[in-house]
Amino acid sequence: MFSYSAFTYFAQNHPLIQELYKRHQRDLWFAGVVVTVAPVTIGEKQRNSHLAARLASEVLGADGVIATKIGGGAVDTDLMMIYERCEEMGVKAALIIMERYPDTGITFVPANVNALVTPGLTRDPIVLPPSNESSAVTLCFWIIPIPTTPIPGYLPCRPTASCGFGWATLSVPSARSELPG
Amino acid sequence: MDEKIRVVHYLNQFFAQIGGEEKADIGPGFKEGPMGPGRALQQTLGQQGEVVATCFCGDNYFAEHLEEATEELLGQMANFKPQLLIAGPAFESGRYGVACGAIGQAAQERLSIPAVAGMDAENAGTGVYRKKVYIVDSGSSVVRMAPVLQRMTALGLKLVQGMPLGRPEEEGYFPRGIKRNAFASKPPAERAVDMLLAKIRGEPFESEIATPQFHHIKPAAAVRDLSSAVIALVTDGGLVTEGNPERMEPGRPTRFTTIAVEGIDRLDSKEFDVVHSGYDTAFANQDPHRLVPLDVMRELEQQGVIGKLHESIHTTGGAHAAVENATRIGQGIAERLKSAGVTGVILTST
């Protein structure tokens, strides 16, 4: 699984959808999924984020939304816009959004966005701890799909087990306290 | 370990037992072996390391001759072939703290050895150097000399041996603004659902990513008269001269470059390249005017629509820029443009 994208299998077996199914009728009601795209121009981004938020709010009648994404830098904007439009419509929002370099993190965060979950940094290598056989199998499940050869035309970068979907059990501990003062 | 790690210790005039404020003007000095708190440092190191030399400098002298003092101390330090520099601890003393940070950074960069300093959180040196040098939180009281030296030593030995460091609160150093991946007990999906439910119920929750603090910049007043304006072209789209001789970074930029275009009407694709990790550069490489509209600006200049086109294009590669670097690059470009009398800028991005 390359950091910036994912195979169809992973979209079909999205960990967030699985989590929501698991908790459906327990502590929440899983209303449905809004699938959208990340267009290129600002006008399209505005229209698209409105449409996505309205589908969640008016068609699904959601009280809350968790938005995730596939893709790199510019797509952060779409996610933030969806977050803002949802909140404007009275739908509480949270985002799962990957971070990148150890010293950069993400840079596009509007001041009112206050519920972000990080699935880890894509450009920080992960050192796997020594493990017994059973946990090694679990870890391999995440690691194997990483392409070992660079994708042609793509700059040399180090794929890690981190992914925008949040498959790996990764986090950036005390991100708040470790951010540049 | 067979050989002891060679440690150099930096002290100010007070801790080197030369004198107090009245001796703050003395220049850099060296002595073999430990001095003052260096003896406690040697005890802490035990068999693992040896304080081969102590270097010292008056606080005022260092503050007033930062470069010369650093130069001289480093020059002498190199003779002792140290593997680690321990600076301070400086506790609350601001000038001493800044000296520890400066000498620590210089040792890291020029002697390629790790450095560990010790300071109070309020010490001016902490604010300036904590991102560049590991600074152990010493607190303000000199009474804590021994435990602080123990922490500094433990950290220093780990750095020399290339052992992984724990988080700042575990190791006792000030956070450097660096994030690292770690395994969490719950996957992101579960944490996100927990966070959202807490938010809906009005319960407290904490975002895992803090909102970056941006300075708000007041836009300059509009250009009133274009016909007398000097307009500059600036791009973060990665335009460079053919072959990228200055090795401009295609992403995560730390600097900008300048392309002289005086007397040039068109950007020939054979003479320019585009390097940028954030977009497909094929189209801009085919015709650089797709990125920087020099051709159109020259036409406007000839028609008298604008007064003059500035003689150079400033460029950088804008992908994944750290805010700190981007700010510095922006300030650098703005200063140059301002001193060159530029009154308006056209920024083209991708």
Q: For chain B, list the domains and their CATH numbers.
A: 5-171 (3.40.50.2300), 226-348 (no CATH)
- Token code pair at residue A83: 């977050």
CB contact under 8 A, A180 and B177: yes
Alpha helices in B28-138 (DSSP H): 37-45, 59-64, 66-79, 94-106, 124-129
pLDDT tens for each residue of chain B, 350 residues long:
458 999 999 999 999 998 888 888 999 999 999 999 999 999 999 999 999 999 999 999 999 998 999 999 999 999 999 999 999 999 999 999 999 999 999 999 999 999 999 999 999 999 889 888 999 999 999 999 999 999 999 999 999 998 888 888 888 999 887 787 777 888 889 999 999 999 999 999 988 887 766 778 888 999 999 999 999 999 999 999 999 998 888 888 889 999 999 999 999 999 999 999 888 899 999 999 999 999 999 999 999 999 999 999 999 987 877 777 888 899 999 999 999 999 999 999 88
A165 against B228, higher pLDDT: B228
ipTM: 0.79
* Among the listed residues B264, B272, B262, the one whose alpha carbon sits nearest the alpha carbon of residue B237: B272
Q: What are phi and psi of B237, to 5 degrees?
A: -90, 5
Distance between CA atoms of residues B344 and A117, nearest Å: 41
- pLDDT over 60 (residue A177): no
A126 against B86, higher pLDDT: B86
- How close A96 comes to chain B (CA, Å)? 7
Tell me the DSSP string of B123-184.
SHHHHHHTTTSEEEE--S-GGGHHHHHHHHHHHHHHHHHTPPP--HHHHTBPP-S----EE-
B181, B274, B281: which to substitute to probe chain A, counting the most A Cβ within 10 Å?
B181
From the list A66, A116, A168, the residue facing B193 with the nearest CB is A66
Whether cis (ω within 30° of 0) applies to the bond prior to B245 is no
Residue numbers in B near A107 (CB within 8 A)? 212, 321, 323
- How close A166 comes to chain B (CA, Å)? 5
Distance between CA atoms of residues B233 and B337, nearest Å: 10
Q: Per this entry, what is the length of chain B?
A: 350
From the list B180, B207, B321, the residue facing A116 with the nearest CB is B207
Q: Is A159 on the interface with B (CB under 8 A)?
A: no
CB contact under 8 A, B180 and A126: no
Q: Is B218 on the interface with A (CB under 8 A)?
A: no
Q: Is B279 on the interface with A (CB under 8 A)?
A: no
Contact A76, A45 (CB under 8 A): no
pLDDT given at position B297: 97
CB contact under 8 A, A115 and B186: no
Residue numbers in A near B207 (CB within 8 A)? 113-116, 176
Q: Is B163 on the interface with A (CB under 8 A)?
A: no
Minimum Cα–Cα distance from A68: chain B residue: B189
pLDDT given at position A134: 46
CB contact under 8 A, B208 and A177: no
Using only C-alpha atoms, what is the Rg of chain B? 27
- pLDDT over 70 (residue A131): no
Amino acid making up residue B127 = G
CB contact under 8 A, A101 and B178: no
pLDDT tens column, A78-119: 999 999 999 999 999 999 988 877 776 676 778 788 999 988
| Predicted structure pTM score | 0.67
For residue B60, what is the DSSP state?
H
Q: Is B204 on the interface with A (CB under 8 A)?
A: no
CB contact under 8 A, A173 and B164: no
- How close A149 comes to chain B (CA, Å)? 18
Beta pairing partners, B10: B55, B87
From the list A101, A119, A125, the residue facing B320 with the nearest CB is A101
CB contact under 8 A, B192 and A100: no
Minimum Cα–Cα distance from B210: chain A residue: A176
For residue B53, the Cα-to-chain-centroid distance in whole angstroms is 29
Q: Is A126 on the interface with B (CB under 8 A)?
A: yes
pLDDT given at position B238: 93
Distance between CA atoms of residues B250 and B253, nearest Å: 7
Distance between CA atoms of residues B10 and B277, nearest Å: 43
Distance between CA atoms of residues B31 and A127, nearest Å: 42
B193, B206, B281: which to substitute to probe chain A, counting the most A Cβ within 10 Å?
B193
